[in-house]
Amino acid sequence: MSSGTAPPHVVENLHGVLQLFSDGSVVRGDESAIMPAGRFPDVPGVQWKDVVYDATRGLRARVYRPPAAAAGEGRKLPVLVYFHGGGYCLREYDQPMFHSCCQRLAAELPAVVLSAQYRRAPEHRLPAAVEDSAAFLSWLRAQGAPGAAAAEPWLAESADFARTFGTGVSAGANLAHHAVVRVASGQLVLGPARVAGYVLFSAFFGSVERVASEAAPPPEVSLTVETTDKFWRLALPVGATRDHPLANPFGPDSPTLEPLPLPPALVVAPGRDVLCGHMLRYAAKLKEMGKAVELAEFPGERHGFSKGQWSEATDELIQILKRFVRSCTNDSE
């Protein structure tokens, strides 16, 4: 005889690799089915290793440092904090496309790159990832403290914490924005480290009102409006809309950025991306507020191209990034 209780049913299905059920349970599948095609080569000479930055939550970061010849003997290097993408729901910091991208950034800037893991939704809805980014920056601050007893040797040897940059791709760019805002607003103290600038690659922002690139998507996009909406439903607090401050930095309930001493920003906007309008709006709003912002548009590129296979576009992007880092740090080399 039936008990009358219906079994849990799927309420959200993300590409068949993440299913959220009506009872709140989550089933994850193999993400390899939706991995980008192609090779993601290692960069000769770049060293990397994983470190734990939050033992309680088991969160790690991957540290990259360039070949000695690129770094220069005894030279301290800028620090790039990198947050991976995946709509706050998918991907991990150690997956091939992020791993290859971070190696290239380390070698060609050159810089010490730290790719930080964070908790993912829907098991850990926002603001969990934002809290993790704050925990990571607090760990980084401790690494840069004079005489730090447990300092990571590679950072002690090579990192110039006064030239720290927040970066990320897609959801990671959204996360980099919120981490930088926390520092600029004084909610998070970094000294002696200093955020010299931040870089948003294909930033994942949203709003209830559609931007032009969502209302009339460019041809052959790799990320659809349907998918971005699904990411937000899975990542935001239950019941929140896309105007939530974590999705829309210019929404009706979002604190204004105008009084904050934000560092210079580089906004990278691929044209064949439904989110392009949000990136253009972000850069325009910062400019209206008198903030230092550079917009780098790539009309022919798709969402997340910065971590894709190497191409003329990624070569150009590396050069833009090198100039930006140098301009923020008065490094003329």
Task: Give the residue ranges of the chain where pLDDT is below 50.
Answer: 1-2, 332-333
pLDDT at position 131? 98
pLDDT at position 1? 40
CA 247 to chain centroid:
14
Reading phi first (left if > 0) and then psi (alpha if -120 to 50, else beta), residue 16 is in left
pLDDT in tens, 187-243: 999 988 999 999 999 999 999 999 999 999 999 999 999 999 999 999 999 999 999
How far lies 320's CA from each of 97, 209, 333, in Å?
20, 32, 15
- What's the angle, vertex CA 155, arms to CA 262 and CA 309, rounded to 5? 70
pLDDT at position 34? 82
Helices (H), 37-152: 68-71, 96-108, 128-144
How far lies 312's CA from each of 144, 266, 276, in Å?
36, 19, 20
Nearest CA to 201 among 305, 300, 294, 115? 305
Main-chain phi, psi angles of 188, to 5 degrees: -130, 120
Reading phi first (left if > 0) and then psi (alpha if -120 to 50, else beta), residue 72 is in left
Cβ-in-10-Å burial (0-12, 13-18, 19+) of 58 comes to exposed
Core vs surface per residue 237-265: b (16+ CB within 10 A) or e: eeebebbbbbbbbebeeeeebeebebbbb
Whether residue 261 is preceded by a cis peptide bond, meaning omega within 30 degrees of 0, is: no
pLDDT in tens, 258-287: 999 999 999 999 999 999 999 999 999 999
User: Could you tell me the pTM of the whole model?
Assistant: 0.95
Nearest CA to 311 among 158, 302, 135? 302
Q: Where in the sequence numbering do the catalytic residues fall? A: 170, 273, 303
Torsion of CA 31, 32, 33, 38, to 10 degrees: 130
CA 68 to chain centroid:
27
pLDDT at position 14? 94
